[in-house]
Amino acid sequence: MKTVARFATLAQAQAAKMNLGAAGIEAFIPDEMSAGIVPMFFVNKPGIRLQVVKEDEKRARSILEEGLESDFTG
């Protein structure tokens, strides 16, 4: 599995996971249980990881970057 993004909140990670799923990419949040139970644990960590299989890494990064750009450009 390759980490394609990190998020400050579980909700952000889950939204990105759904976006990738809509594009046919299966994603995994390995920190999902921890972040759901003790969200403050991730305040001092680099973020909640979103991972995909290596074969989907480039496409997933592209989809996520496209989503971030549209968030800022309206």
pLDDT digits (tens, 9 = 90+) for 18-49: 999 999 999 999 988 887 777 666 666 788 99
In this prediction, residue 73 carries a pLDDT of 43
Q: What residues have CB less than 8 Å from 46, skipping those under 6 apart? A: 6
Spatial separation of the C-alpha atoms in residues 50 and 15, rounded to whole Å: 11
Domain count, the chain: 1
- Percentage of the chain lying above the pLDDT 70 cut: 82
Segments forming the whole domain that contains residue 30: 2-73
28 three-state secondary structure: strand
> Cα 3 from chain centroid?
8
First to last CA, the chain: 32
